[in-house]
Amino acid sequence: MTNKHTPKAHGHRARKRFGQNFLHDHHVIDKIVRAISPKADDCLVEIGPGMGALTEPLLEASGKLDVVELDRDLIPILRTKFFNYPDFHIHEGDALKFDFSTLLQPGQQLRIVGNLPYNISTPLIFHFLAHHSIVRDMHFMLQKEVVERLASAPGTSDYGRLGIMAQYYCKVEPLFIVGPGSFSPPPKVDSAIVRLSPYDELPCPAKDVKTLERVVREAFSMRRKTLRNTLKNLISAEQLEALGIDTSLRPERLTLQQYVCIADAVYDLQQAEEGESS
């Protein structure tokens, strides 16, 4: 007995350079679709549909779907498989360069789904965070350790730039783990499903998000060093202490709120310097 969600071979082999691992476990697929709960009026987008294992139940649930696929050899397979869905649209290209705002109708927000290749998952997540205002939610299959970093708390070894910036923009919910046997070929690591839901109003807004990104990047550039050392090019130890920050701490000990506090101070310092020099 064949499973309708299991992709047929079609002579296509997963490509290492695209980080392809095709999902074939219908129990996992059904669980993902239930978590997404697609509706007919959703603006659904799938990143890297592969052989269409997740595409099929998404289309069945919503009736319409846009997909972005980089591997041009997969496109005729997808076109053939879903030819009877008039609202199925394939966009050939790199998701990192694709303008997702072109898919939106007025008043809509994107619902993004994807089994993201391990080699580009972090830059893709940062790409979507930068466009958070047009996104309702994101459901991603990622390497388990990437999900742990996204959801990490201060004081843990997983806590860093990715988790801080994701939690700045979104509510992060790890949903469940997916073992290697659910894929073809099986990856060497566990995967996990995560839900990222951008906030309508940021709970801890920074005066300037670019400054926040720079502060966090500098802080974690040498994560074994103390804040006194890692942030010295942006703000002095005395100025940090005046904010109530213990400069002997390592960067993973600070909360998101504390990083926003530092970033606001750095931004004010820069604005004052620019005012003096003009």
> 85-127, pLDDT tens digit by residue?
999 999 999 999 999 999 998 889 999 999 887 778 999 999 9
Asked if residue 13 has pLDDT above 70, the reply is: no
**pLDDT tier, 278 (very low <50, low <70, confident <90, very high otherwise):** low
Residue ranges of domains in the chain: 16-198, 209-277
Q: Give the per-residue pLDDT at 3.
A: 38
SS3 95: coil
Model confidence at 277, pLDDT cuts 50, 70, 90, reads: confident
Question: 51-66 pLDDT, tens per residue?
Answer: 898 999 999 999 999 9
For residue 148, count other CB atoms closer than 10 A to its CB.
Answer: 18
pLDDT at 2 over 90: no
- The pLDDT of residue 251 is 97
pTM equals 0.89
Residue 61 in 3-state DSSP? helix
pLDDT tens digits, one per residue of 132-157: 999 999 999 999 999 999 999 999 99
14-18, 87-91, 232-236, 268-272: which range is least confident on average? 14-18
Distance CA 138, CA 44 (A): 10
- Nearest Cα to Cα of residue 68 among 36, 90, 43: 90
**In which residue are the tokens 């199925």 written?**
88
Q: Tokens 């939690």, residue?
A: 167
Check for a shared fold between 16-198 and 209-277: no
pLDDT number for residue 22: 77
Third-level CATH fold of 16-198: Rossmann fold (3.40.50)
Q: Of the CATH numbers 3.40.50.1100, 2.40.10.10, 1.10.8.100, 3.40.50.300, which one belongs to the domain with range 209-277? A: 1.10.8.100
Average pLDDT, the chain: 90
Residue 202 scores a pLDDT above 70? yes
Q: What is the pLDDT of residues 14-41, one digit of tens each?
A: 444 444 577 888 999 999 999 999 999 8
Could you tell me if 69 and 94 are in contact, meaning their C-beta atoms sit under 8 angstroms apart? no
DSSP string covering 158-199, please?
A: T-SHHHHHHHHHEEEEEEEEE-GGGEESPPSS-EEEEEEEE-
Bond prior to 49 in cis (omega within 30° of 0)? no
Taking the C-alpha atoms of residue 184 and residue 52, their distance in angstroms, rounded to an integer, is: 13
